[in-house]
Amino acid sequence: MLSRRYDLPVYANPATHQAAEARVKKLHQGCEFETGTGFALDDLHIHPFRISHDTADPVGFLVSDGTHSVAYCTDTGKITTLIRQRLFQCQALILESNYDPDMLLNGPYPMYIKQRVRSNQGHLANNEATAFLAELCTTEVQEVQHVVLAHLSETNNHPDLVTAQVRQEIGHLDPAFSWNWPARISLDGLLQWGKPTKSGERWEVQSRIVLRNRGEAGKGTACRAPYYNND
């Protein structure tokens, strides 16, 4: 719908194009790429890499302008060796932290959905995402300075749980690592995403990003992205 309304091209690998066209007919301005093969889009170089999800050839992206790079990796049930290699190459990372295992277990989803979410082709749990961040903090071969934890489940997660997990896994690793927690903000007037609550107000979450700046003796700030999404 967005592609047709705004005349936008849709970039996807062949398997994703075929799966999409089976549901929405022929895509408007379909542009194909091969998973694992980089391509240029204006001044950007985009490298799609395979992730682990129960869809048709799912991918994450490593995007670079030749000087800076950012990786996007959500909707993956595990951090594979390939994913780890790609994420270690970026300076900024958007990483899934989808669910809290206890909230999922005790939540309203039917068992088959719970099994899907926590499978190797499902989503990353908070402890899995923060364990990978801890690995980043203790590995000298990576270049990551900024991390946004994204795709938090509205039903099976909460930003406060992510915060606690990050503090537990990362806060003790580097004595020089500092934390800066910005004030709580409302999505109204700033971001027009997020579902209204029962009272009609939008979700109020904290804008937080994890930073690790190697150029300043390990200083950095830890934050969460104001990003809610359903599973």
Q: What pLDDT score does 166 carry?
A: 83
Q: What pLDDT score does 206 carry?
A: 33
54-65 average pLDDT score: 95
118-136 average pLDDT score: 93
Whole-prediction pTM:
0.75
Nearest-CA neighbor of 13 among 30, 29, 27, 34?
Answer: 34
192-204 average pLDDT score: 35
181-202 average pLDDT score: 36
Considering only CA atoms, give the Rg of the chain. Answer: 18
Distance between CA atoms of residues 82 and 51, nearest Å: 8
Q: What mean pLDDT value characterizes the chain? A: 76
Question: 39's torsion region: left (phi>0), alpha (psi -120 to 50) or beta?
Answer: beta
Q: Which domains does the chain have, with CATH numbers?
A: 1-32 (no CATH), 38-178 (3.60.15.10)
Determine what percent of the chain is predicted with pLDDT higher than 90.
44
Distance between CA atoms of residues 31 and 33, nearest Å: 7
Residue 142: how many other CB atoms lie within 10 Å: 20
